[in-house]
Amino acid sequence: MKPKGQLPPGPRGWPIIGNMLQMIINRPAHLWIHRVMEELQTDIACFRFARFHVITVTSSKIAREVLREKDEVLADRSESYASHLISHGYKNISFSSYGENWKLVKKVMTTKLMSPTTLSKTLGYRNIEADNIVTYVYNLCQLGSVRKPINVRDTILTYCHAVMMRMMFGQRHFDEVVENGGLGPKEKEHMDAIYLALDCFFSFNLTNYIPFLRGWNVDKAETEVREAVHIINRCNDPIIQERIHLWRKKGGKEMEEDWLDILITLKDDQGLPLFTFDEIRAQCKEINLATIDNTMNNVEWTIAEMLNHPEILEKATNELDMIVGKDRLVQESDISQLNYIKACSKESFRLHPANVFMPHHVAREDTTLAGYFVPKGKTVNDIGLMSSK
């Protein structure tokens, strides 16, 4: 039995700053944390950065306790310069704490944007992009007389970006159409900015733990996130503004065709627009950030594992031949029958979990994890759930 109120074990820290200095000296932070946890032989640890305590978890059993059993009590998020800017003041789902706004946007995401009706309405977009990616790969193979290797990551990124753009904005390119099926210069800029924003959000940043340093641009972190958000806004905003004008001033269209149409046309109880321009920008940015990297990682790892295990690749190919055959391309409706390939994807999630760090979960009230005490509030409140190595 652990004594009541005992925090998880952690490395000894300095007065006031805690483990801050060790963390800065030993970057990258996540590798140092894994090392410390191995030395302490623990699956749950507590690090102190100034007045904040961060509890890290590496076992799937405790992760289940965080995400399933204690999901509601650990549903708040921690505040940071990056998440504040990216979410336009916590107007999205992933960076905002539990509360009315979080419940509303989550409900809209699950019951409107991701509803079976919307998904079937937007099937055409995904079909176009499935065809485009096959043509793109075919064209890449045909370039020149020598067969060239295909960069799997670039190909998947191109596909994920294009699908996200179609579902969100109903168009694949911001302005000029690129004929070879790849990303145009503006889409590349958009993608780079999305990755820069993700990096800024997930990196260890001193000012998240010493708030009075905010505004001093420590490590140039603030400039970077501002630049990323500026580029994403420059790409997204004209489309959003024009579409708001179309729906709210010029009578709209016959029906909603994509996620942006839905966000603009939703009404509150009084029949007024549910979301403001800033709220719509925040949802769009959230979808920009949430849909590409995780999906790309899973496909890339699955293909990498298959290439390293040719017998698995052969089984997957046989399944495709059996269910789809060689006379047509795979359709979304085939997926329910492609059980072996789905199992491969799930296995690669197990071997290579989604994020090194997930967004922090913060305790809304005192609780326990693996028998250790996790108090509510400002002192001990961040749960950085780390993937196991």
Using rule CB under 6 A, residue 294 touches ligand HEM: yes
Using rule CB under 6 A, residue 388 touches ligand HEM: no
Among 221, 264, 358, 363, binds ligand HEM (CB under 6 A): 358
Cβ atoms of residues 62 and 70 within 8 Å: no
Distance separating alpha carbons of residues 192 and 50, to the nearest angstrom: 33
> Which residue lies nearer to ligand HEM by CB, 287 or 380?
287
Using rule CB under 6 A, residue 26 touches ligand HEM: no
Using rule CB under 6 A, residue 298 touches ligand HEM: yes
Opening angle at CA 348, ends 344 and 350, nearest 5? 120
> Which residue lies nearer to ligand HEM by CB, 127 or 355?
355
Q: How far is the CB of 178 from ligand HEM (least distance, A)?
A: 23
Q: Interface residues for ligand HEM in 146-175 (CB under 6 A)?
A: none
Residues pairing with 357 in the sheet: 386
Among 19, 78, 87, 94, binds ligand HEM (CB under 6 A): 94
- DSSP assignment of 140-197 equals HHHSSSSPPPP-HHHHHHHHHHHHHHHHHHS-S-SSSPPTTSS--HHHHHHHHHHHHH
Q: How far is the CB of 293 from ligand HEM (least distance, A)?
A: 9
Distance separating alpha carbons of residues 352 and 53, to the nearest angstrom: 27
Cβ atoms of residues 147 and 141 within 8 Å: yes
Q: Which stretch binds ligand HEM (CB under 6 A): 54-62, 129-137, 198-206, 282-290?
A: 282-290
In the block, residue with structure tokens 């055959």? 325
> Which residue lies nearer to ligand HEM by CB, 20 or 289?
289
Q: How far is the CB of 246 from ligand HEM (least distance, A)?
A: 23
Cβ atoms of residues 246 and 92 within 8 Å: no
Write out the residues near ligand HEM by the rule CB under 6 A: 67, 93-94, 106, 109, 286-287, 290-291, 294-295, 298, 354-355, 358-359
